[in-house]
Structure 1
Amino acid sequence: MSELLWQKPGVKVDARIQHFLAGEDVILDREFFLFDIQASLAHAEGLLRIGILGADELAGIRVELDALADDWQSGAFVLDERYEDCHSAIESRLVERLGDAGRRIHTGRSRNDQILVATRLWLKDRLARMQALCVEAAEVALARAEAEAAVPLPGYTHLQRAVVSSLGMWWAAWAEGFIDDAHRARDTLAWVDANPLGSAAGYGVNLPLDRDHTTQALGFGRLQVSATYAQLSRGKFEMAAIEALSSALLDLRRLAWDLSLFTSAEYAFVALPSQYTTGSSIMPNKRNPDVIELMRATYASAAAARTEIEQLLSLPSGYHRDLQFSKGAIVHAFGRGLGALELLPDLLRNLEWKPEAMRAALDPSMYATDLAVDLAREGLPFREAYKQAADPARWAEGDPDASLQARVSPGAAAGLRLDALRARLRTE
């Protein structure tokens, strides 16, 4: 490992202790590396504005940071165990190439606000990706809701056959769910869109840092004003982002459950695209819905990450090293969560329904609610209508198309109001 930023003469570094302190930081920091470079340049520009750096020094820093970013993306530079973290790697490179100009870049900042701003930029990027994926999933669901609006599908409550439903209702439900998730991602992004750079270790510095410049240069919506609150918000903002992600993953989990049931031989309502299934290692007859099963499981990663961060926040004000562990939580949650959401739109586009099997699963009992409502509309008190409609002797083979056409309440099969959902989606 290169010389530690905080190492002082005469202080012995125990390799085992340092390994524990660094943990998996150098691996996790690969997620934040380019964002740390971006923030380092904005900080250097700010130092020029207050006379800490000269124009030539800033020019050299800009060239070297750009070169480091290029080397990172090409694989010529690797963030590995030579460094304690991404911050020390960047500073080491600048010192190696620029000497004193590289040594000046840390003036007025701490690794605390360095990781805060890099993480904040990373969260904004991930939330924007999540929002776009939810919008795409909603668009696919809306298109299929319109195309398959009148196709009958059994509706279930308690996993028991309940009433006649439709593919239009099924698709519209997921469309509205993912529209909500997209809105939540957007709103959360706006909430975390605050610049903590320049708060240093949580108490500011005795320099007139141009924090408004770094806010604008880094594309933040606002400045996170209080230096102390910038530290207090670490973990809090991460939990908000995970909660937004969890909202989408909950919808994905329930959708995956539907598909798990509907693709089984006992239902046989739908076929998955072949690339979304795998074979058994021992049973030649099997195609397993592994992708949707792992989609269903992904919410657990987000829930665990939120819990981990929440437990870390049992702390007084000020920075504490405990917060280092929050990085792994968000990286794992968004890594799995976005990985699952990225597969969703194509899955939804390529589902193949089996209308004959769905119609065959409609039995006479599923028209009993229609009968009760018809009797009530004719003037019979609903509780009496309910009793009469509960008599199996009154059940008969129904017409699923007529049942769906009669379901005119807003949001039901004959009143899907897809235009209203599209209008809301367009506000994204």
Structure 2
Amino acid sequence: MTQPLWQKSDSKVDARIMRFLAGNDVILDREFFLHDIEASKAHVEGLANIGVVSGDECAGLLRELDALAVDFSSGSFVLDDRFEDGHSAIEARLTERLGDAGRRVHTGRSRNDQILVATRLWLKEKLGTLETLCREIAGVCIERAAGDSVPMPGYTHIQRAVVSSTGMWFAAFAEAFVDNALRARQAFDWIDANPLGTAAGYGVNVALDREHTTSRLGFARMQVSPIYAQLSRGKFEMAALDAVGTALLDTRRLAWDLSLFTTAEFDFVSLPGEYTTGSSIMPNKRNPDVVELLRASYAAVAAARTEIEQLLSLPSGYQRDLQFSKGSLYHGFTNGLAALELLPDLLARMEWKAERMRAAIEPAMYATDVAIEQAVAGVPFRDAYRAAAETAASAGDGRTPESSLAARVSPGAGYDLRLDALRARLTRS
């Protein structure tokens, strides 16, 4: 391993302690490395703006940082256990190539604000992806709701309750994911603040060009208080994970529905073949494994959020405990986004079994419609309710699922799908 950045003498560092201190940092930093390089470029430019590095030194540092990014992306430079972390690797490379200019690059910054800005840039990228996925899922659901909607049972307590439709089912998740896209954007806007220049949490005695780094890195604003920059670590990560978790909570309920609807007992849905797997022992089985793992995906995000929350039982200022938050953040987002990436195609290609759903609609499922119609005609609702309960077995006489839905799910009725309003919200968001 190269000499740690914080090493102040030639005394040896216990290898076991170094392994414990480094943990998985150098592996996890591969995820944030390109963002760290980009932030380093902005920092170098800022140092040049205030005369800490010369124009020639700035040009050389920027050239070598670009070369390092290319080498890392191509695999010719590997971030491995030669280095304590990604920050050490950047400085070691620049020093190797440029000598004193490389040694000057860390002026005015700490690994504390270095990891803050790298993870903040990474989070903005991931939250942008989250918003895009939620919008795509919502769009698929809107189009399928507007398509060939067919009647199906609506359930409460997993018991047949009223007549519903596939359009109503898709519209529900369309609205959910419009909200989820908005939640992702809100989280993005909240964390869109530049911590670079706050150093170890107390600033530095040099007039860093923080306006330049804020603009150069595409942040909407800077974090003003150096102490708060450290306090925000973990807090902002939890907010971002909350946004992923919100989308995955809806995914979990959607997946639960599909898990039930694909059973032989329901048999309402047929999934595309690649979303099912065979049993290793039972030749007759095709299992909805993808749907079941979609249902499970929220757990990884919830665990990541909980781990970070438990780390934050800390006083103000930087504490090394926060190093553990990187792994939680990475695993939570990686698992969450991988699940959401599958939903648009799955929802676009799943097929409803119209005959099976229509056969599951029982006469008693019209009883609520009967009671409300009588109440509108002047019968006190509780009396109409009791009368409908007594005649529930024949409540469907003379009715069809389509006529029941038309009475409730059409413009001017008590409820309609309002898909144009959902489309407008999706466009505005």
Deviation at 1:8, TM superposition (A): 2.2
Residue in 1 that maps onto 2:279: 280
Deviation, structure 1 residue 408: 4.4
Q: Which moved more, 1:392-401 or 1:244-253?
A: 392-401
Partner of residue 304, structure 2: 305
Query: What residue in structure 2 maps to residue 197 of structure 1?
Result: 196
Distance 1:393 1:12 in 2: 85
Q: TM-score, normalised by structure 2?
A: 0.98
Q: Distance in 1 between matches of 2:88 and 2:352?
A: 55
- Aligned equivalent of 1:135: 135
1-structure distance, mates of 2:279, 2:350? 22
Partner of 2:426: 425
Aligned partners of 1:12 and 1:19: how far apart in 2? 14
**Once the 2 structures are TM-superposed, how far is the Cα of residue 415 of structure 1 from its aligned partner?**
1.3
Q: TM-score, normalised by structure 1?
A: 0.98
Letter in 2 for 1:265: A
Contact 1:146 1:168 in 2 (8 A): yes
Q: How many residues align?
A: 427
Instruction: Give distance in 2, aligned partners of 1:104 and 1:387.
Output: 83
Partner secondary structure for residue 147 of structure 1: coil
For residues 406 and 165 of structure 1, the distance between their equivalents in structure 2, rounded to whole angstroms, comes to: 12
Shift of 1:7: 1.3
> What residue is the counterpart of 1:376 in the other structure?
375
- Distance, in Å, in 1 between the alignment partners of 2:343 and 2:412 is 24
SS at match of 2:218: coil
Q: Which stretch shifts more, 411-420 or 376-385?
A: 411-420
Q: Secondary structure at the match of 2:161?
A: strand
Give how far 1:411 is off: 11
> Does the 8 A contact of 2:244 with 2:301 survive in 1?
yes
Does the CA contact (< 8 Å) of 2:141 and 2:170 recur in 1? Answer: yes
Q: Compute the displacement of 1:377 (Å).
A: 1.5
Q: Does the 8 A contact of 1:411 with 1:417 survive in 2?
A: no
One-letter amino acid of the structure 2 residue matched with residue 382 of structure 1:
F
Alignment RMSD, CA only? 1.3
- Aligned residue number for residue 81 of structure 2: 81
Task: Indicate the residue corresponding to 2:344 in structure 1.
Answer: 345
1:372-405 deviations in whole A, cap 9, x for unaligned?
1111122110000000111145434431000000
CA distance 1:166–1:308, change in 2 (3 Å): same
Supply the distance in 1 between the matched residues of 2:336 and 2:212 (Cα, whole angstroms): 34
CA deviations 1:212-271 (Å, max 9, x no partner) are: 000000000001111111011000000000001100000000000000000111111111
User: Which moved further from structure 2: 293-302 or 405-414?
Assistant: 405-414
Query: Structure 1 residue 367: deviation in Å?
Result: 0.6
Preserved contact between residue 365 and residue 396 of structure 2 (Cα < 8 Å): no
Partner Cα distance (1:32, 1:325) in 2? 14
Distance, in Å, in 2 between the alignment partners of 1:410 and 1:260 is 32
1:241 alignment counterpart: 240
Identity %: 69
Secondary structure at the counterpart of residue 297 of structure 2: helix
Write the distance in 1 (CA, Å) between the matches of 2:225 and 2:113. Answer: 12
Moved more, 4-13 or 414-423: 4-13
Conservation of the 8 A alpha-carbon contact between 1:152 and 1:165 = yes
Task: Give the counterpart letter for 1:417 in structure 2.
Answer: R
- Please tell me whether residue 355 in structure 1 is matched to residue 354 in structure 2: yes
Unaligned runs of 5+ in 1: none
The answer on 1:400 being equivalent to 2:405 is: no
Gaps of 5+ in 2: none
* Partners of 2:407 and 2:413 within 8 A in 1: no
Change (3 A) 1:141 1:108: same
Question: What is the aligned partner in structure 1 of residue 124 from structure 2?
Answer: 124
Relative distance call for 1:253 and 1:29 in structure 2 (3 A) is same
Note if contact 1:404-1:413 (Cα within 8 Å) is conserved in structure 2.
no
Q: CA deviation at 1:11?
A: 3.1
* Residue identity in the other structure for 1:188: A
Equivalence map 1:244-323=2 (5 Å): 244-323=243-322
Measured against aligned partners, the alpha-carbon deviations of 1:270-299 in whole angstroms (never above 9, x if no partner) come to 111111111111111111111111111010
Call closer, same or farther: CA 1:30–1:410 in 2, change over 3 Å.
Answer: farther
Deviations 1:154-212 (A, max 9, x none): 10000000000011110000000000000000011000000000000000001000000
Match in the other structure for 1:214: 213
Which shows bigger deviation, 207-216 or 16-25? Answer: 16-25
Secondary structure of residue in 1 paired with 2:428: coil
Distance 2:312 2:89 in 1: 28
For 1:403, what is the secondary structure of its paired residue? helix
Aligned residue identity for 1:72: F
Separation of aligned partners in 1, 2:29 and 2:241: 19
Whether the aligned pair in 2 keeps the contact of 1:169 and 1:413 (CA below 8 Å) is no
Q: Matched residues in 1 for 2:288 and 2:181: separation? A: 26
